[in-house]
Amino acid sequence: MDINELIDDFLEHLEVERGRSKRTIENYRLYLYRFYEICTEILGKENILPSEITPELLRKYRLKLNRYENAIRHEGLKAITQAYHLIALRGFLKYLARRGIKSLDPSLVDLPRAVKKQVTFLHFDEVEDLLSAIPTDTESGLRDRAIVELLFSGGLRVSELINLNRDSINLDRREFLVRGKGQKDRPIFISEAAADRVREYLAVRSDSLPALFLNNSRNLNAVDNSGNFRRLTPRSVQRIIEKYALAAGITKHVTPHTLRHSFATDLLMNGADLRSVQALLGHANISTTQIYTHITDPHLREIHEKFHSETA
């Protein structure tokens, strides 16, 4: 079998045996088909055997990947995107090794050193400013206030937020489960204020659609009983957050994920331990949660105030 056929087998393996999400599989499909296309260009043929994936082919592939340019936007691939391509390739090579198919040793696929993005978060007073900028005299305003409250109070990812249904959130107990990355369930706890805002929004809804948050600009008379035709999209939520951040005079670039960062930093600044925050965020590895520690460590402020010279 050539690698094109084996890539299809690997993607089916991810879906059936590993239970990976559709989005992850589609990303792997993109990365590995790009690998195949670049290899056909390098070797000058279409039928490529696994044994032909050599260290030299890998070197040339990485060089091509680094020089790759989008035909429409004329942009190259960021270091983190190149790393995703190599992670997919390494996973594919491990799959071949488990099947006893001779190919390149997966350990030879080194990942590039990617520059980590700076964590942007809002202090509590900025969150209050953001909430105050949202008018609550319309259904859309009540919805938007509930969205911001839930993102900050529960630390939800935007994908988790838009997939919520009315019956998936217990407003009396103020807790519910969401299925996050890797199809893993985790508990979400929300404040009384967040629960009240959701109640206020639902109280003015006249529909019986299951989605917790609806896009009010969609055709209300569309024939669709699923409720998904009016379910908010991640981009819609992004625009909502940007709109009110601008109205509140917040100069930072604020996204739905900024509120998740704000949730984590607020917990740590108020004394929560790192392991608990890891569980509340649904991070598989605590090293992911540790990105917040350098901005929430009160000891650093104490050191600065104690030892740094102050000008007159």
Active-site residue set? 157, 181, 257, 260, 283, 292
Specify the DSSP class assigned to residue 101. Answer: -
Tokens of 250: 């917040």
Q: Cβ(129)–Cβ(98) under 8 Å?
A: no
Place of tokens 């239970």: 19
Of residues 132, 99, 123, the one with CA closest to residue 265: 123
The DSSP line for 159-223 is HHHHT-BGGG-BTTTTEEEEE-GGG-EEEEE--HHHHHHHHHHHHT-----SBSSB-TTS-TT--
Taking the CA atoms of the chain, what radius of gyration do you get in angstroms? 24
Largest CA distance in the chain: 76
Tokens of 123: 């202090």
Of residues 213, 176, 184, 177, the one with CA closest to residue 197: 213
Tokens of 238: 């992004």
In the chain, the amino acid numbered 32 is L
